């Protein structure tokens, strides 16, 4: 049995990037950039107006607009001192322009404009190459691509990008007593909440499973299902049948990095590596422990494989509204509702009803952590917590 922090370290160190691929800008948002992007031209490529208004030459309070060329392209006009020319944001500047006044700050009477103050030289002018010059680095390798990054890539002349590929994931549920969710369970049978929960949890974080498998615990059929799943997936999450699954994986040449973690719940969580680099996580067969294991270990590993820099949880501190007691020696994860009250975070522990019951966890958005040596928590104590990825997205990782 290993401590929780040691289990996370071991799992992360064994999680190598799975590779790269080239995608269009339409498909790149949220992925990690695998190359540096440089501007292929000056940005902007011309001296341009930064706002709608009037291009000016000279520092005056009164300017004339030449009527004979007021409808021409601004870039084809030459301004003499004391003259003005109407421009729109992004227009090329008339020759001789040294400043621009916004339209809202000018009073127009016929062909004359009046100003209340003289704009500073260079005001509201985007000079050529001001944002970036030709060859300048505009996007750095390792950046998580947002919509703004995609716009910058387009300005730099790119239609496709080289990005870090996300690992192919799969889910497996092992057991003979599980029936489909549309069936009414007979005595001794049950519906499986774990696979739909995990599928939604992974999808919320950008790792949509490629396949889901319902496997029998019978040795030969289980081994066949594991071979098929690990042949298609680089990361496989298995719920249920821990004993038979462990034996089958060992026969297939898998080695276990750890088999038990000193934590509650989800102490039976295990991680194994295959001869071809495949990773198989053995999760508890109860929904909340399976969700916690995935949140604490699987998602950080998937992020590391996908090239993310932030793979550990961003830790906050909140004031508890509940009492909680525990035995020493194991870290405890408490599924809580974190909310703001003034400038402080408050942590509420919902009444779980039946221990591990999903119905009592619907309002949960975070996990509070009671250390291995901690014996109790009292209302008003400060407690470390972190948000679920499904609740806070990228902000849940540091």
Residue 354 has pLDDT above 60, yes or no: no
Confirm if 153 and 139 have CB atoms less than 8 A apart. yes
Rounded CA-CA distance 284/163 in Å is: 33
Say which CATH architecture domain 48-126 belongs to: Beta Complex (2.170)
The model's confidence at residue 70, banded by pLDDT at 50, 70 and 90, is low
| pTM of the predicted model as reported, rounded to 2 decimal places | 0.87
Q: What is the pLDDT at residue 380?
A: 96
Q: Using the 8-state DSSP alphabet, how is residue 297 labeled?
A: I
> Does residue 294 register a pLDDT over 70?
yes
For residue 20, which phi and psi values (nearest 5 degrees)?
Answer: -130, 165
Pick the closest to residue 209 from 177, 189, 237 (CA basis).
Answer: 237
* CATH fold group of domain 316-396: Beta-clip (2.40.340)
Cα separation, 249 vs 23, in Å, equals 35
pLDDT band at 40 (very low <50, low <70, confident <90, very high): very high
Whether residue 235 contacts residue 301, with contact meaning beta carbons closer than 8 Å, is answered with yes
Determine the Cα–Cα distance for residues 306 and 53; give it in Å rounded to an integer. Answer: 47
- pLDDT tens-place string over residues 171-211: 999 998 888 888 888 898 888 999 999 999 999 999 999 99
Q: Is the pLDDT of residue 68 over 60?
A: no
Say what the pLDDT of residue 345 is.
Answer: 97
Please determine, looking at this structure, whether the domain spanning 21-42+130-164 carries the CATH number 3.90.105.10.
yes
Domain map (residue ranges) of the chain: 2-19+166-305, 21-42+130-164, 48-126, 316-396
CATH, range 2-19+166-305:
3.40.980.10
Q: What is the pLDDT of residue 281?
A: 98
């Amino acid at each position: 049995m290993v401590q929780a922090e040691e289990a996370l370290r071991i799992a992360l160190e064994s999680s190598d990037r799975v590779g790269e691929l080239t995608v269009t800008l339409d498909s790149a948002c949220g992925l990690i950039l695998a190359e540096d992007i440089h501007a292929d031209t000056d940005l902007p490529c011309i001296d341009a107006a930064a706002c709608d208004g009037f291009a000016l030459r000279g520092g005056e309070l009164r300017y004339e607009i030449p009527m004979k060329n007021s409808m021409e392209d601004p870039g084809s006009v030459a301004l003499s001192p004391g003259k003005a020319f109407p421009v729109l944001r992004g227009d090329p500047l008339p020759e001789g322009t040294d400043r621009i006044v916004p339209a809202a700050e000018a009073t127009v009477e016929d062909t004359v404009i009046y100003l209340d103050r003289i704009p500073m030289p260079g005001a509201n002018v985007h000079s050529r190459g001001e944002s970036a010059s030709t060859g300048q680095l505009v996007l750095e390798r390792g950046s998580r691509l947002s919509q703004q990054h995609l716009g910058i890539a387009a300005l730099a002349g790119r239609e496709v990008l080289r990005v870090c590929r996300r690992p192919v994931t799969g889910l497996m549920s092992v057991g003979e007593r599980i029936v489909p969710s549309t069936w009414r369970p007979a005595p001794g049978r049950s519906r499986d909440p774990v696979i739909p929960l995990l599928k939604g949890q992974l999808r919320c974080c950008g790792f949509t499973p490629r396949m889901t498998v319902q496997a029998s615990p019978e040795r030969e059929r289980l081994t066949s299902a594991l071979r098929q799943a690990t042949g298609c997936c680089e990361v496989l999450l298995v719920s249920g049948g821990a004993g038979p699954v462990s034996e089958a994986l060992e026969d297939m040449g898998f080695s276990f990095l750890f088999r038990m973690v000193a934590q509650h719940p989800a102490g039976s969580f295990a991680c194994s590596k295959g001869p071809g680099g495949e990773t198989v996580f053995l999760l508890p067969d109860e929904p909340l422990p399976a969700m916690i294991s995935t949140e604490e270990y699987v998602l950080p590993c998937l992020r590391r494989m996908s090239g993310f820099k932030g793979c550990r949880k961003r830790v906050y501190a909140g004031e508890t509204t509940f009492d909680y007691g525990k035995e020493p020696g194991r870290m405890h994860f408490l599924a809580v509702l974190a909310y703001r009250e003034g400038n402080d975070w408050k942590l509420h522990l919902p009444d779980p009803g039946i221990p591990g019951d999903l119905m009592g966890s619907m309002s949960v958005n975070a996990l509070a952590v009671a250390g291995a040596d901690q014996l109790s928590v009292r209302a008003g104590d400060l407690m470390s917590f972190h948000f679920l990825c499904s609740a806070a997205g990228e902000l849940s990782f540091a």
